[in-house]
Amino acid sequence: EADIYQTPRYLVIGTGKKITLECSQTMGHDKMYWYQQDPGMELHLIHYSYGVNSTEKGDLSSESTVSRIRTEHFPLTLESARPSHTSQYLCASSDLLTGANYGYTFGSGTRLTVV
Amino acid sequence: AQSVAQPEDQVNVAEGNPLTVKCTYSVSGNPYLFWYVQYPNRGLQFLLKYITGDNLVKGSYGFEAEFNKSQTSFHLKKPSALVSDSALYFCAVSPPMDSNYQLIWGAGTKLIIKP
């Protein structure tokens, strides 16, 4: 099983609440990614990081923010959740070696529902 | 612009029959090519990759993929489908000049195997 962990697995929260989705990996990978995916649909890159103190926005505009203070940790924060944020959020990681051999390693995802 | 196309949203196959899930790409040079599988409410799992060498590559769960450079295709195949193969399949490409191995994703194909 992949050594990348996402918590919580499922979250139901009210509109306007602040939430943080956690992602941690124990593989020492320098690159980490957040994707948003509606059920059964395509992946949309919302944030990525190539190392500590490095974060970039992805292809899909998102109201979320990320931080990368430690190599192993890449949390995603929504300051004020809205129903339009209801989706599955997938975290992934890679490095120079695994990127060439396996692409990315994915966590199991967080299914977020905003009511 | 670089892109990956999975022309079929859904593929239906009877159990025991061969299956093909199509992928074509528009990336210059010789990219790395990947297939991933996603089961419901899970992250993506690596299936197989092509970097160089034999055009037919073998991967997990009896899957294989055929690389065709002239057609810029990387179709996923399996000689005899199982009901348990039903899942969402993603093709991904890593452009050759991207030292970060950031992946470009297809939109996904839902594979349904009927008993």
Task: Give me the percent of chain A exceeding a pLDDT of 70.
Answer: 98
Query: Looking at this protein, which amino acid is placed at residue B22?
Result: K
The span from the CA of A93 to the CA of A107, in Å, is: 9
Q: What ranges in chain A are assigned the alpha helix state H?
A: 96-102
Residues in chain B: 115
Minimum CA–CA partner of A5 in chain B:
B43
What is the model's pLDDT at position B35?
97
In total, how many domains does chain B have?
Answer: 1
Cα A93 versus chain centre, distance:
10
Interface test with B, best of A105, A106, A108, A112 (most B CBs within 10 A): A106
Coil/strand/helix, residue A36: strand
The full set of domains in chain A, from first to last, is 4-114 (2.60.40.10)
Average pLDDT, integer, range A46-57:
95
Mean pLDDT by 10 residues, chain B (115 residues): 93 98 92 93 91 92 96 97 97 83 92 97
What is the model's pLDDT at position A2?
54
* Cβ <8 Å between B51 and A100: yes
Name the CA radius of gyration of chain A, rounded: 13
* Whether pLDDT at A1 is above 70: no
> Which pLDDT tens digit goes with each residue over A58-76?
988 788 999 999 999 999 9
The neighbouring-strand residues paired with A7 are A22
What is the model's pLDDT at position A60?
82
Contacts of A18 (CB under 8 A, 6+ apart): A77, A78, A79, A80, A81
The span from the CA of A94 to the CA of B102, in Å, is: 9
Contact (CB, 8 A) for B81 and B17: yes
Q: What is the mean pLDDT of chain A?
A: 92
Give the model's confidence band at A19: pLDDT under 50 very low, under 70 low, under 90 confident, else very high: very high
* Cβ <8 Å between A102 and B105: no
The CATH number covering residue B52 comes to 2.60.40.10
> Which pLDDT tens digit goes with each residue over A98-109?
777 778 999 999
Whether residue A104 lies within 8 A of chain B, CB to CB, comes out as yes
Whether residue A1 lies within 8 A of chain B, CB to CB, comes out as no
Contact (CB, 8 A) for B5 and B88: no
